[in-house]
A and B are shown apart, each in its own frame.
Chain A
Amino acid sequence: MLIRPKAGILDPQGAAVERALPALGFAGVGNVHVGRLVELDVDDPSQLEPMCKKLLANPLVEDYEVQRLDGSG
C-alpha cells in the first residue's frame, strides 16, 4: 500500500527534501512528496481496501493506492 499526503495539504517533509536536493547538486527536481509504504502478505486481497480505510491511511488527509505483487495486478 502506498500512502501519500493528499494534494493541496502542506507537506513539510516533501518541501524539506525538495530544498535539500539542489544543495546536493540534483537540479530540476520539483513536486516532491514523502509518504509511507506498507508491505504485507494477505490471504484475501479483498481485505486490503477496508484495511486502508479503517487503519492504514487516514482518508481525511491521505490518499492510498494498493499494488499487488503476486503478478495478478
Chain B
Amino acid sequence: MKFGVLQFPGSCDEVDALGAARRVGDAELIWHGERDLRGADAIVVPGGFSYGDYLRAGAIARFSPGMESVIAFAAGGGLVLGICNGFQVLCEARLLPGALLGNANLRFTSRQVHLEVVEPETSFTSACAPGELLSIPAKHSSGRYYADAPTLVAMAERGQVVLRYAAGENFNGSVADIAGVRNEAGNVFGLMPHPEHAVDELIGGSADGLGIFASMRLALEGAHA
C-alpha cells in the first residue's frame, strides 16, 4: 500500500510523516499545487504552519488544489489522516467536525502527552489495545479543540471521539479532553499530537505512534481482502 503525504508551503513534519508511513508501507510526497494524488491508498496531511497560519491555522491551505483532490478522495471513502496543522486543515475543510482555537495557556507548548484510546475499533486505532495509553509528543499553539454542545453529543453517540488526553494531560484546554476525532463515516481522522514523531524508541522513548499508521494499513488490507 502507498501513503501520499501532502506538502504545503510552511509544512514542516512531512519528512517524519513519510518516515513513519514507510515503516508500514510505501510513501510519496505530494506537492499541494498538484491535483494528482499519484495513486495513493491513504493520505496524510502533516503538521507545520501551512501558509504561515495566516488568518487562522489551516484556513488558506484548505483551498489548495491538492486539498480539493483530498476532499474528493475522502468523499469516496479514502483514508485521510490529519496531524496537528493537518487536523486544523481538515476541520477548516469541514471534513471533520469542530475547530481548533488558541491554546488556553496562550503559549506554544511542546511536551510528551498520554492519550487514551477511546475507540480501539477504528481504521486508525485497530492496532492499539483497548484502553491503551499512547505516549506521543504534542507541539502547537492552536490545539484547543472546540465543538458546540449538540455536536459533542452527536459525536459521542457515533463514537467519533477516538482519542482523549489522559487525566491531567489536557494542556491546551480542549473541550471534553478531546485529542483526536473522526468523521461520521470513519474514514477521516485528525489529532493534535504527533504519532509520526513517536515511531522509534531510540528517539523520544516511545514507538506508540506507529500503531496509527499500522492500523491504516490493516484497514486497507481488510478492504482489499
Binding site for B on A (CB under 8 A): 5, 9-10, 12-13, 16, 55-56, 58, 60-61
The chain A residue sitting closest to B58, CB to CB, is: A58
Can you give 10 A-B contacts (C-beta < 8 A)?
A9-B101, A10-B104, A12-B103, A12-B106, A16-B106, A58-B56, A58-B59, A60-B99, A60-B147, A60-B148
Contacts of B98 in A (CB 8 A): 60
**7 extra interchain contacts, Cβ-Cβ under 8 A, other than A12-B102, A12-B103, A55-B63?**
A10-B144, A12-B105, A55-B59, A60-B147, A60-B148, A61-B99, A61-B101
Report how far A12 CA is from B59 CA in the complex, Å.
21
Whole-angstrom distance between the Cβ of A3 and the nearest chain B Cβ: 10
**Total number of B residues with any Cβ neighbor in A under 8 Å:** 19
Secondary structure dominating the interface of B: loop
Q: Could you list which residues of chain B lie within 8 angstroms of chain A, going by C-beta atoms? A: 55-56, 59-60, 63, 92, 98-99, 101-106, 144, 146-148, 173
Contacts of A9 in B (CB 8 A): 101, 146
Q: Is there an interface contact between A58 and B106, defined as CB atoms closer than 8 Å?
A: no
The reply to whether A13 and B102 form a contact with Cβ atoms under 8 Å apart is yes
Q: How far is the CA of A16 from the CA of B144 in the complex (A)?
A: 17
Q: How far is the CA of A5 from the CA of B56 in the complex (A)?
A: 12
Nearest CB on A from B99, distance (A): 5
Contact check, A58 vs B99: say whether CB atoms are below 8 A apart: yes
| A residues less than 8 Å from B101 (CB atoms) | 5, 9-10, 61
